Structure 1
Amino acid sequence: MTDFLKPPIVSINVSVYGNQAGYDALQKAMLTHQSAHFELVRSDKNEGYAIQIAHPHIQYFSKVSVLDKAGNLLTPKAGTYHLVADQQSMYLLDENNRVVQGIKSYYDSNQVQGLLKILDNISKWEQVRGLKNTPTQLAPDQIDFAYYDAQGNILEGEEIITHFRKVDGEWQGTEFDLRVSNHTDQGLYFSLIYLDENYEVALLTSQYFEANTHHATILETQKTWLESYNEEENKIAYHEGLDEYFSNESTMTFKLLVSTQRLDGSVLEQAPIDIGYVHSGNANSLKNTDQTFTLFEQESNWFTKTITIHTIRQRAKLGTGEVKLVDNDKLIIKGNSYLSADLKLSTPNPGSRSASYMDVLPVILEKQTGTIVDFGGSPRGNHILEFNNIQGNEALANHPLKIMLRESIDEDELLLPLTYDGAQLLTVGEVDTDAEGHTLITINALPEQEEDHRSLGKSLKLAFFKIALKRHPDKLYQLAWVEYLNAPTKNGRTQIKRHKDNDDITEKVKSANKVLLLIHGIIGDTEEMAIGVKDMIADKGYDLVLSFDYENLNSSIRDDISWSLKDQLDRVGFKKEDGKELHVLAQGMGCLVARWMVEQRKGHELVDRMILVGPPNQGSVLGNIETARKFATIALGLTLNILSPLAAWAGGLLKTIKNIMKQSKQLTTTLAEMQEGSSFIRDLNNSDDSGIPYLVLAGDVRNYEPTEGSNFSKFKEQMYKSVGTFVNAGEANDMIVDFTSMKSLGKNTQVEVTQVACHHLNYFEEEVSLKAIQEML
């Protein structure tokens, strides 16, 4: 017999947590249980972790958690496992922190040997699950393998989502068929291998299909199910009081092996493991299966295709009555007679092999300062609100979905209902506070995401993120000199320190010859600008960098901000014909501050060059309170998606504007001045020629895609559809300011404009715009 295929042994990683005695028992057992199929790695107790065990005396429902110092769950990644020793017990956990099996006493060598045999069988299951043959001479694209529902509709893709619902008091799964097509010019063997989360491996069928066979049913009228192998519970491990545990979700994997020779399926098969069972006596009864196996008796060409079906228990359904998904009334979904949907709470698990887009949300948001709201209900918490199989969503415009959240929101926090489609973070709905202080989320439309062919009906998954806001204090007008610190942050980010002492700044100016002054826009401060130009400073000969930060909503550019800037520049030693070269680098609203100081406050006597980035020279959309809200919404979406620290500033702007709309609905002093056609804008553009060069950098988003490859155009369309636009999208614009406004500089004659592909909030992050800024300095 020719060993055509002996799959390489997959050595699974097993982290060992707990006491020394448990680890010693494992080491002793390994002396007589030689295995190359798993590797034990002791986790250092000095790193700090705690072990929690819930329901240890309820068979099949024990819950074991390993927590780090911060109380976060240490979850195994896909294909890795945990062994946890606590007191005399030991538990084997999978990637979802599910107890695979446990033993009451690791002092019983037979019980420990039983756990090691389970690891061997898991290793084989992992091998079969990963079967593939990349160098095959067959044509996989000419073989179809697809899931069909009971109505004969195809659900495309390798991963399918179905639901387990209660119908007339009975829990029922979803009926389906699996069908294949052979578009090749030769007959082939089609073997269907079944793997479930109980680590069972079974060959369901092996059939021969002639060339050009179409839509043949290889598995007929099956039902999805949620089950364990607990005989005492009629094989249904469901406990109404403990339903947050593993019996609420299941995964079935169907692997189609297509070959030119018949498969010897018997070598693959193994019995399921009794998931969740904790042995108090002999655990050494599990039969070991061969970990190395030969599939074919003679050489064969072959390859595999896989369909994985995820089944989710739906415990609640949205309809006319309100729904409470947690006992603490923290989350209430208001009834809606025009909308129906299956509801559930879930927990992100980015390490899981069945991870969805929302599972990676905590990773995406970790660069922002804030927290994802936890609704409780399980040791791992519940952070995601899922609406599945949504029907009637076209009525949302007139009959919105309303969600009430009993969660305290501080003045310096903003609650963001977020969803993630795998490419973009999107805010969903409007957030308000009712008379009792509860947070109310109103959703008038579902975000337009790509159709999910894995699931019947539309779906929406929401997380509620409390972002910590940043806002400038009132009457802040602060000149400072910028020091670049040698020590970066833990994530490699440059750190700066802004020195605000007036005498200190004066000494720096006195010894400087070429100075760069940074002035920020309405979102953020000068920190991001300073970090963006760090590598250009020495190259361009600057020996001092100054920053000017200011309160940008309740102060007048004409009467407060520009006056303060000019006064401070005078006081630290700048004067006419001082022999120093002073360049101004300003962005957005900061360009209007710089222009008024130069053109109306005799700043042209001090400044030698103006670099204006995205200047709203003809006024700003922020001059209208509703478009100001749209601007802040788009800015927040942009900064979240580019993982920018500016998100905290954009959120602060949005909350301030919402408060204005809720109270007086009157424009702030700054916004009124920036209004298109205001006396401030008219007077600014009627100023005399300053006589100094103006270099304008104008962003254009029409053909922009970021260098990291995310789909910015898709995000732009989403934002335009949800909040509208206030620029002529057909003309050059940076999504906030159009090109006509950016290039209009009144009577100034020394004007040079450069266009680059970027948007208003990443001028100081995008490579092409940074290069343009460097050339202008």
Structure 2
Amino acid sequence: MPEEKKIYALLVGINEYLSPDVSNLNGTQKDVEDMQDYILSNYTAFEKKVAVLKDKNATRSNIIKSFEQHLGQAQEGDIVLFYYSGHGSWGKTNQAFFKFDPDEREEGLVCHDSRVNNQFDLADKEIAVLLNYVARNNAEVVLLIDSCHSGSVTRYADAATRMTGSGNQVRTLSDYLYDSTLEEHKTYYTTLAAQNGGEIAEIPMSRHLLMSACSERELARETKDGGWFTQSLLSVLKENESLSYFQVYSQVFSAISQKHEKQTPQLEAYGLFNANNVFLTGGKSLTKSTRFRIGKSAKTNSFRVDFGAQTGFPLDISRAINFNIYETKESEEVLGVGQVNSIGLVDSEIRMRVSSRETVFWGEMLDYALAPTTICFEGAQEDLDLLNDGLKKRNIQQVVFVTNDLVCPFVLAWDQKDACYRLSERQQEQVWNAATEHYDTKSFNRPVFILELGKADLREEFKVNIVMEILEHLSQWKYTVDLDNPKSRINKKGIEVKFTTDNPSDAHKVKCLVKEPKGIQQYDLEEANGATQKDYHKLVLDYTEEVEINYSIRIKNNTRDKYYLALALITADHGVIPLQANIVLEPGEELEEAVDKYYGTLSIARKNDTNITNYLKVFISKKEISTVQGLELPSLVMEEQLQYFEPMTGRNFGAKTDINDWCTKTIAFNLKRDIDTFGNNDVEIDHRGILIHGHTALKANVGMNSPQQNTRSANQLYENIPNKVSNMELFYMDDGTGFPSETVLELTNIENENTLAENPLKISVPKQDGELVFPFTVETILVLQEDGSYKEETLILPIGTNTGKDDKGNDLYEVHELPTNSNKGTRSLGKSLKMCFGRMFLSKDNYNLCWVDYAQGGTRESEGVAEKVAEAKKILVVLHGIIGDTSAMAVNLEFASKYYDLILTYDYENLNTPIPQISTHFKEELTKVGIVEGAGKTLDLVAHSMGGLVSRGFIESPDLRGDLLVRNLYMLGTPNAGSAFSKIATYRDLATAGMTFALNFKTFGAASLAQKITGLSVTKNLTVTLEQMGVGSPFLMQLNNHPTPEKVQYYIIAGDITAYKGTATGVLAKLVDWASVQVGNVVYGASKNDIAVSTDSILGVPSYFNPITERVDCHHMVYFVDKQSMEILEGWMKEGSN
């Protein structure tokens, strides 16, 4: 009987470190425990021998000993797993290893006792020796490393980083593995050096596979629930145990790409380790791996495999890549092996050991995985499944769909209105921030071309194949844009690339961006091309005049070395055009016309494009660059429909383009334009109805852009708006050409804005049944926190007042004043304004009694109310005020379910219905569902603002006799003695002011308020309800002079903003200021109030009711999220339930 195979596992997790210079971690213990549980619960065909080292036991000597004495027992056919969860580090390596590490540093793992009492980290050079020993009997050796700098360890919360600083001490050769249990390891490197004149000839390379959390220059992140890498890995393995190493890597990569920080897992295998085998079993995978065509080049008589830098393989790779060679794409027999030692730009030379004389073979990669291009997918899961099937059928490894658009260069998103998918490229630009006097990075979406892909198209193989072709094309284009050699030793700063305009008058249109120690700086072209030329990486060109800009490129060699150059133009329509190649540039020599006149023009061709970027890439090498023709990619024609797209034809093998040491210099040509200038003339922004009306005095440039997204460390502005407000989305503008991608309307160089007070700017927006489109701007302010720090808050500020309809039936907004911060983010001397358009979907129900389903997150359900009432004894009903609805109130009152059997909500029409009629309707709704006298129910009410008056009308009316049903009434912010909001001229103005607050505080239903804005006349005076809420109104006079039997206990919470200390103080001040600007100052000045109602009015219930009252430091919009208010309310409910 054959001996049972074994899995030898060493699992190391370190949360706590002895050195005070190494920060502790949180999630490594859970990582190790979860990994151990998984191994012990699976792999039943193996005998499992698992050793675990955690915290104080995970010392350097214990880890080394476990490698040698535990893992070292493995024999042929066994599996060896070393798993590490903890800090990674880097430090300066010994001089003897410089030729292996050009950057003169080594990576390592930080042990529990590292950096204490002269203990070192466990260096990559040491791990290489240990692996060589463990693999000596031909076991399958696998390393899983969840730490920072882990991408080359065998040669940083919510999410904290697993990174610590460098080890400063440079160790001697005798310090490597000095604490080994094996004598040959203690002297391994000193012996090698003695045998080779003091130099290290080689670092041992064993057969093993490394899968790590991130690249060597990235951060591995963790939460208290464990490391992103480990938890993603285990999730993938639990779903499918028979995946190959390559397949596991691909799915882990996809999972981590969903996170909102960049972290790129790595997979590399060495020594002919076959990564096509099933994970941790050594068995052959049943899923076929991608095979690459291998052909013989007639020019060089050498075999070349059809993969290279443009398909995602790094040209700076410092190791060989191995292949199994097959006769055909489908054959099973391995003919031999092949090896690629240097990556070409497009294809790569492969050295093969096969006996066949065929000229075409197929290669299956054994030991390397590339990081694919990520495509953000926004749509239905069933559609994503179809697209993923398309990737599998075509064996496309260079592309992966994810849902985190922050890390994606391309986005495929479903347009609900037009019922199709559209593909966009996410581009970045630098925008001047006047507040910080630095450039911020923002991104925007630009359509690739009119790819309108319906759901039915995803079920047609031909069309899915076209989409796959496009995605492969875009992946190659993106790799070409990013193409560089970070480990090159060429001094690229010595190669001067100078841009000049052929027409001197065009020079003022060009701004040069330069990376400097203090950040990105901007210079005029003349200044940048001065006596000491600036090394600019990006040119921003003003294309408002819409005239082609002709340019020239000069390249000068300021070094003492001879260089060879090649040039390629990378176009905004996703093409790559090879230009000159094999240009010889002697020391001091200058090439005056590097770009042919035919290509030396810049323009924006598409009507609705306002911001495009082309690139000039200069390849620099000390060896000849015979051609870059293989980089060529045809442009994706922007106006081409899906059915006319022709897939790329197969390529012939080009001449050899392998370059040992090379680098690139890239200049981005960023063309920007304003789409129009308005004055007396109307400007149509969107063919569906967005129109800026002509103005007799106001002048401005008009442009469109996409949502602003700063760097990951900054606030997400426009793009996070839909997450801030429920039932709202951004309105994407469409000029009629089929590119609905822009959402930000920009007015720049505004003149004569002081005329707006008397002569407002008018903006028309689309009017459709069931929705409201409205303009708003976004502002970020710093809010002082209780601990003295500042936090960024994003405010949504509605612009203008909805004044009715224009002559086409669309909503018309009037803007009387611009925001005070409207020149923020630009260096323009004139004022500017950025605005978005929000779209809200409106409900058709004016009256609604619902039950709250807290099992589903606090949703309101209108079906089955009577059945729920029949089962309940204690019932609470929630009523909203004149602004908003009960949606957010219900969610925040979940604690009440501890004291009541059932929570109901009552929403009502509150424009023109008198409050007594609403109270009557309220009783009718209660009666319908069985809440009547004698039914054995106890009923309490909690009401916000005007809802308290509706409740009082129900309770105190001698006809309704709600006092026979209601036990307790809890009122928050109710204007019992009237509200100053009744001073506002029209309800529409109230709604506009209310929208300012509702969009920024979730306690109000902004969509409900939007419902009330629609359909109102521009001349509409105060509605009945608003009149009745006025101080001294007949309704309130009667209500407060009509005592009833004291059967109902009133509870009142009254807010006071004069002493408000909440973290939203700065937000509140800004919103009050903005609402006042829009509709006039209606607040109470220095007297105590909650913004909408004075504190005295809230408390103004006649004394014969003996109300129980509390004052709180909050405002009208946050009662139901204010901690103090909710604690008081819950205390009353708890007491009342006894």
TM-score (norm 2): 0.46
* Contact 2:879–2:886 under 8 Å retained in 1: yes
Change (3 A) 1:673 1:603: same
Take 2:475 and 2:1082, find their aligned partners in 1: how far apart are those partners?
A: 69
1:599 aligned partner, one-letter code:
E
**Which of the numbers 430, 445, 450 marks the counterpart of 2:801?**
430
1:467 partner letter: M
How far 1:717 sits from its partner (Å)? Answer: 1.9
Query: Does residue 1118 of structure 2 align to residue 762 of structure 1?
Result: yes
The percent of aligned pairs where both chains have the same amino acid is 22
2:907 paired with 1:553:
no
Find the counterpart in structure 2 of residue 374 from structure 1.
733
- CA distance, structure 1, for counterparts of residue 911 and residue 835 of structure 2: 32
Shift of 1:684: 0.8
Distance in 2 (CA, whole Å) between partners of 1:251 and 1:351 is 22
Q: Secondary structure at the match of 2:827?
A: coil
- Residue 819 of structure 2 aligns to a residue in which SS? coil
Higher relative contact order (CA 8 A, sep 6+): 1
Gaps of 5+ in 1: 52-62, 80-93, 129-140, 153-158, 174-195, 201-228, 253-264, 294-307
Corresponding residue number in structure 2 for 1:608? 967
Does 1:421 pair with 2:421?
Answer: no
Q: Classify 1:561/1:312 alpha carbon distance in 2 versus 1 (closer, same or farther; 3 Å).
A: same
| In 2, Cα distance between equivalents of 1:564 and 1:127 | 82
Deviation at 1:594, TM superposition (A): 1.5
Aligned residue number for residue 977 of structure 2: 618
Structure 2 gap segments, 5+ residues each: 1-94, 106-148, 150-214, 220-249, 255-286, 294-304, 308-312, 314-322, 324-339, 344-367, 378-382, 391-408, 429-442, 450-465, 491-515, 528-536, 552-568, 577-593, 636-647, 781-793, 1134-1138
Deviation, 1:372, is 0.6
Q: Find the counterpart in structure 2 of residue 463 from structure 1.
A: 836
Contact 1:516 1:582 survives alignment (8 Å) = yes
Superposition pairs of residues 256-405 of structure 1, within 5 angstroms: 312-324=672-684, 331-348=690-707, 350=709, 359-360=718-719, 363-364=722-723, 367-369=726-728, 372-376=731-735, 377=737, 379=739, 381-405=741-765
Shift of 1:720: 2.0
The whole-number CA distance in structure 1 between the counterparts of 2:902 and 2:448 is 61
**Match 1:638 to one of 977, 997, 1005:** 997
Q: Label 1:594 to 1:288 Cα distance change in 2 as closer, same or farther (>3 A).
A: farther
CA contact (8 A) 2:987 2:1023 kept: no
Match of 1:597 among 913, 931, 954: 954
Please state how far the C-alpha of 1:546 moved relative to its aligned partner. Answer: 3.9
Superposed counterparts of 1:467-482, under 5 Å: 467-470=840-843, 472-473=845-846, 476=847, 482=851
Task: Measure how far apart 1:64 and its partner are.
Answer: 9.6
Instruction: Give the alignment of 1:220-235 within 5 angstroms.
Output: 231=596, 233-235=598-600
How far residue 702 of structure 1 moved from its aligned partner, in angstroms, is 4.3
Give the letter for the 1:338 counterpart: A
Maintained 8 Å contact 1:67/1:73: yes
SS in 2 for 1:711: helix
Residues 42/325 of structure 1: CA separation in 2 closer, same or farther (3 Å cut) = closer
Q: Is the 8 A contact 1:322 1:335 kept in 2?
A: yes
SS in structure 2 opposite 1:650?
A: helix
In the alignment, what sits opposite 2:853? 484
Q: Which has the larger radius of gyration?
A: 2
Q: 1:40 is aligned with what amino acid?
A: P
In 2 relative to 1, CA 127–318 (structure 1 residues): closer, same or farther, beyond 3 Å?
Answer: farther
1:443 to 805, 815, 823: 815
Instruction: Give the superposition deviation at 1:370.
Output: 5.2
SS at match of 2:888: helix
What is the CA–CA distance in structure 2 between the aligned matches of 1:754 and 1:143, rounded to whole Å?
Answer: 53
Instruction: For 2:669 and 2:1058, locate their aligned partners in 1 and report how far apart those are by CA, in whole Å.
Output: 40
Aligned to 1:39: 371
Please tell me the root mean square deviation across aligned C-alpha atoms, in Å. Answer: 5.6
In structure 2, give the amino acid aligned to 1:445.
Answer: E
Work out whether residues 347 and 380 of structure 1, in 8 Å CA contact, stay in contact via their aligned partners in 2.
no
Please tell me whether the aligned partners of residues 10 and 127 of structure 1 are also in contact (alpha carbons under 8 angstroms): no
Give the superposition deviation at 1:719.
Answer: 1.8
State the partner residue of 1:678: 1033
Structure 2 distance, partners of 1:126, 1:618, is: 78
**Distance change >3 Å, CA 281–CA 471, structure 1 → 2:** same
Counterpart mapping for 1:623-702 below 5 A: 623=982, 626=985, 628-642=987-1001, 646-656=1005-1015, 658-659=1016-1017, 661-662=1018-1019, 665-688=1020-1043, 690-691=1045-1046, 692-702=1048-1058
What displacement does 1:739 show?
0.7
Partner of 2:121: none
One-letter amino acid of the counterpart of residue 456, structure 1: S
1: CA distance, partners of 2:773 / 2:695: 23
How do 1:493-508 residues align onto structure 2 when only pairs under 5 Å count?
Answer: 493-498=857-862, 504=867, 507-508=870-871
- TM value normalised by structure 1: 0.65
Structure 1 position 164 matched with structure 2 position 553: no
Q: How far is the alpha carbon of 1:699 from its aligned partner?
A: 2.6
Alignment partner of 1:445: what SS? coil
Pairing partner for 1:531 from 884, 891, 912:
891
Q: Taking structure 1 as reference, are residues 470 and 167 closer, same or farther at Cα in structure 2, changes over 3 Å only?
A: closer
Give the conservation status (yes or no) of the 8 Å contact 1:162–1:456.
Answer: no
Task: Give CA-to-partner distance per residue, 1:619-656, whole Å, 9 cap, x none.
Answer: 23464562533331122122222356711111112235
SS of residue matched to 2:1091: coil
1:681 deviates by: 0.5
- Distance in 1, matches of 2:849 and 2:475, equals 71
Q: 1:18-61: per-residue Cα shift (whole Å, max 9, x none)?
A: xx99975599626648788951269898534599xxxxxxxxxx
Deviations 1:264-316 (A, max 9, x none): x999xx999999765977677877685999xxxxxxxxxxxxxx997622343
Q: 1:33/1:397 Cα in 2 relative to 1: closer, same or farther (>3 Å)?
A: farther
1:749 CA displacement = 4.5
Contact 1:687 1:746 in 2 (8 A): no
Q: Work out the CA distance in 2 between the residues paired with 1:356 and 1:197.
A: 31
Q: Deviations over 1:331-381 (max 9, x none)?
A: 543443533322222233749889996652664467324551422446453
Distance in 1, matches of 2:682 and 2:489, equals 47
Q: Which residue of 2 aligns with 1:751?
A: 1107
Q: Is the 8 A contact 2:426 2:446 kept in 1?
A: no
Shift of 1:767: 3.3
CA–CA distance in 2 between the matches of 1:716 and 1:160?
A: 42
Task: Give the CA deviation at 1:456.
Answer: 1.3
Q: Which residue of 2 aligns with 1:410?
A: 768
State whether residues 571 and 613 of structure 2, in contact with CA within 8 Å, keep that contact through their aligned partners in structure 1: no
In structure 2, the CA distance between the partners of 1:395 and 1:388, relative to structure 1 (3 Å rule), is same
Which secondary structure state, in structure 1, belongs to the residue aligned with residue 988 of structure 2?
A: helix
Query: Aligned AA for 1:426?
Result: L
Q: Could you tell me which residue of structure 1 aligns to residue 397 of structure 2?
A: none
Shift of 1:608: 2.6
Contact map agreement 1:396 1:443 (CA 8 A) in 2: yes
Q: Does 1:242 align with 2:606?
A: yes
How many angstroms apart in 2 are the aligned matches of 1:596 and 1:113? Answer: 66
CA distance in 2, matches of 1:366, 1:575: 37
- Contact 1:696 / 1:742 at 8 angstroms: preserved in 2? yes
Residue 31 of structure 2: aligned partner: none
SS of match in other structure, 2:749 = strand
CA distance in 2, matches of 1:5, 1:725: 66
